[in-house]
Chains A and B, each alone.
Chain A
Amino acid sequence: MKHFKRFAVPAVGAALLVTTAACSGSPAGSGSGSSGSGTVTVLYSNNYVFNSDALATQWWKGIAKQWKAKYPHTKLVLQGTGGTDIDLMNKAAILFRSPSTTPDVIQLPTTYVAQFAGSSYLEPLNSFVHSSKAASFWPTMPAGVQNMSTIDGNVYSVNAGNNNTGLLYNKAMLTRAGVKMPWKPTNWQQILQVAAKVKAADPGVWPLWVAAGVAAGPTNVLQGSGNLIFGSSNTTMFDTKTKKWVVDSSGIRATLEFYQKMFKQGLGAPTSQLFRADAVGQPPLLLKQGKLAIAIGSNWYPSVWASPKSAAPWAAAKTAVGSAPFPTQNGQTPGAASTLGGWAYAVSKASKNVQGAEDFIALASSPANQLTTAVWSGFVPPSTPVGEKPLFINFAPPFQADFNTYAKYGVALPNNVNFPVYARALNTVTGDFAQNPNASMSAELARLSSLVSQQLGSGSVETLP
């Protein structure tokens, strides 16, 4: 999930464009040109998914060109829209209210698939993805990625790229604190200990970034508290059996205790940074500036440093920054944890050209297009073979390869229509600890429960061991 305009990577971009153009004649899926006629309308974000507006324009122009060559009799109408992911989704939700304004294909964050499917807005794609001829890309996507698109047995979207999480740290700052390189913590306590050493060695810096507060919306769960919950002894946020939200469990408590300890010891980033609307984009900048030592960060951070024309070019980042998987609470199996979030394409139920819409998805999911999407957006490609391609691995080395290995720990956030409510409640409580580390744990747990139940009813929450 992308969060701010980052940078342009013209050199790599040009190279990949050549590759894309070269691959454009190759079969993307059906290869049969089955869209006979008509129009296919695609609604997408033109300044949130890709690293820069220019790259978004370049990618979509490339797609339009490929489409014209492959389906000359079907008009492709591209509806790019600005703003954040929430802005795109609000616009889409309004467009979907009338069949006459509903696009055939929508680009959407994976966390919204359930919301659109739950609104009966999406066409199930079961027969499409299970057709080896039409969707050759589908078997190349691991089950975890396929499941992000699947609700109650129906496939409602096709993943276009993912973000996962790991630890990124400024090696020089940790070395000054006496930490041996490479650093690979095996439990949460070790992270706090190292953060304390950094603070002792250099009191003027912020040792540890863990996203907190409501400013960045559900993304703060994806890049913050969600990782802790998934690394705890109870990883459930939404109980699929009881259809209730977990507001108290050993996992929730451990997560909040981590926040409390971090802020109580003065190890966390200040609220002026955490509560910024663009907080999500700050850690890579702060790591470069030497103001931040460690971040629970996303796989896209390195793309901020990778190019001379990046938002924060940092040629030395490949040696100056280290990465490690984010460990589980006590080092328990599987040893590391990561949230998994991404973007996908879905077909609207109101589409008058479902075939054309599916053809578009097949084209966008071709290996070459997956690759350009991944590199230009800072995604892990959904298809495993694409993620293993040298062009992907060698972009912003060694981080792409590192985060590829963390992908196996990735767990998707709850694919549920009410996730935004739960996310805001969780973000409120983590923000409370950032503001007031001495807040009572029981009071904050009660607050989490009441914030969810106020919105969804008292029967919507539960406590787990």
Chain B
Amino acid sequence: MNRIKTIETNVIRKEMLLLQKECSSKNDAINSLIEKAFDTGLITRKEPFMEVVLERETEIPTAIGYEIAIPHGKSKEVKEPFIGFLQVRNSFQWTEELEDEVRLVFLIGVSDKNENNLHLKFISQLSKKLLDEDFRQALKEVTEVEKAFELLTTINSTIQN
């Protein structure tokens, strides 16, 4: 149990939780999170990681409904796997073509090397939990980093496989 706890707190870092931000575009959102990831020392360079993430967006935009987008990239620039969270005050349209309005953005970064499965497991479990309406609502309403951290690191037994 302790081991899992460590994984959660490694992947989710308080520095990477951005709450009540103003944001009006996909690039703006991704950029804010990448800046933070760089400042926090999670990625080695910003531009190449941004490219990977945006390339993934052109394949298929990562707005998944429910006012959530999960841009992500697998890249050698990623030093440690992470999930960054950006909660914006007013929802905005993720792409011109897609009508999806987005308020919660999760930027996921993993390295292109063989990733530790426990990290991937945690990321997949958190992704699954986003389908839980109460969880999403709590994330939309949260105003304190401490509380957001607690929400994102508390993966309860209901989503275990």
A-B interaction: no
